[in-house]
Amino acid sequence: MAIKKIPVSITRCPEYDPEKVQAALKQCLAPLGGMAAYVSPGARVLLKPNLLAPLSTEVPVTTHPEVIRAVALDVMEAGAKVYIGDSPAVGTLSMVLKKSGILTVVEELGIEPVPFRTPVSVSVPEGGIFKSLRLAAEAGSYDVILNLPKFKTHSMMSLTLAVKNMFGTVVGGAKPAWHLQAQDQLRFADMLLDVWRTLPPALNIMDGIIAMEGRGPSSGDPVKLGLLMASSSSLAMDLVAGKIVDLPFEKHPVLYQGRARGLAGGREEEIEVLGEAVEDVRRAIALPKSISRVDYKLPDWMRSYLKNSLNAFPRLDPELCTSCGECASICPTEAIALHRKPGHGGVVSKDKCISCFCCLEVCPERAIDVVPGRLQRVLKKFNLA
């Protein structure tokens, strides 16, 4: 008996024109049964976009307002009530909605904003690495979650896509603490997978119209992919997204651990791509300089010994840094010391730094670069990292 495959739908969408986005969304969801296959009349539906920080749409950091508009209209057409929620890494939900332009859509359509403020202990389903997680009570109180990630690179996790977008259900200040507890990419990836499995979205819709490459998730550069993607499986969607940008699963910790744990959607043979073929939309993008996966199979003592040579570290650019202190305040290990004279940057202690790049995520001036360690630079030169 043939095993039913997990569908991932890909549709071209060249720009954020409202009518084109709405038409592309309908086309993308059609092979999956349309929005009505996931949303029932009268249901309370939570939209969970990427609302990392209060930034305008000129930089591709947050899910675009027109993608949110198109999804909300489709949900309303199915007879459901729409809410929107997140716990931004920087600022408040209201600040991010206003600065990103999403607030206009929220007000026009009567969408109710839901700040994630109340952490509660939630049991992780069987097979998890963690027994329980403290997640936003608000996120778990709706009939349906629609996950609306942005297609971006990420300096710690290679890409931040559908699985990682659910990390927004971890409330505020607990996010840096998780980086401190996890310490390395694989354990952090396990936590992300457990968050996703604990609050599984019914449907994932990826904004890949204008994506981000380079120093993601907030300091990278825009890159035009011209795509919308949809799937019931966050992990399957992430796998297909990685193939689109030619990222081997070995360099994507979430996919690496998802496959190692045998999670559904972690292998190509489990997935059916619908709509556009991966080969027809493939586009190489610039990946963060920090990415190196040569340490995955090294014993702990060797990884610890080679840490400063294998890892990449943040560097504050004194010409761009305004000494605002955002990086130092979010650093979970207090590895950043700003110079006393404002506007002169600061220094990062390699002994304390765990290469989580939280500092890069929150820097409002794009003043933080990534510097590979000496051994990593050598390995990259010979295409070994």
Q: How confident is the model at residue 304 (pLDDT cuts 50, 70, 90)?
A: low
Residue 76, Cβ neighbours under 10 Å: how many?
Answer: 17
SS3 336: strand
Tell the residue number behind the tokens 């990259």, with chain if given: 380
Which amino acid is present at 280? D
Does residue 65 surpass a pLDDT of 90? Answer: yes
Positive or negative CA dihedral for 164, 169, 171, 174? negative
Query: DSSP string of 311-325?
Result: SEEEEE-TTT-----
Q: Which of 61, 46, 55 is nearest to 147 (CA)?
A: 46
Helix, strand, coil shares of the chain, percent, nearest 5, are 35, 25, 40
Indicate left, alpha or beta for 366 from its phi (over 0: left) and psi (-120 to 50: alpha): left
- Give residue 132's pLDDT: 96
Residues in the chain: 385
**Domains, the chain, ordered by start:** 6-281 (3.40.50.11440), 300-381 (3.30.70.20)
Does residue 305 surpass a pLDDT of 60? Answer: no
Q: H-type helices in the chain, by residue range? A: 18-29, 65-77, 93-100, 102-109, 162-165, 174-182, 185-198, 234-244, 253-260, 278-281, 300-305, 307-310, 326-330, 358-362, 374-381
Strand partners, 49: 148
Of 185 and 72, more confident:
72
Q: What is the pLDDT of residues 209-252, one digit of tens each?
A: 999 999 999 999 999 999 999 999 999 999 999 999 999 888 89
Q: What is the pLDDT of residues 353-385, one digit of tens each?
A: 888 888 988 898 889 888 876 655 554 554 545
Q: Which of 242, 254, 166 is nearest to 208 (CA)?
A: 242
- Give residue 54's pLDDT: 95
CB-CB contact of 133 with 88 (8 Å): no
Distance CA 273, CA 23 (A): 20
Strand partners, 224: 210
Distance CA 248, CA 302 (A): 24
Does residue 296 surpass a pLDDT of 60? Answer: no
Does residue 169 surpass a pLDDT of 70? Answer: yes
Q: What is the mean pLDDT of the chain?
A: 90
Measured between alpha carbons, how far apart are the two ends of the chain, in Å? 41
Residues 6+ apart with CB under 8 A from 377: none
Q: How confident is the model at residue 126 (pLDDT cuts 50, 70, 90)?
A: very high
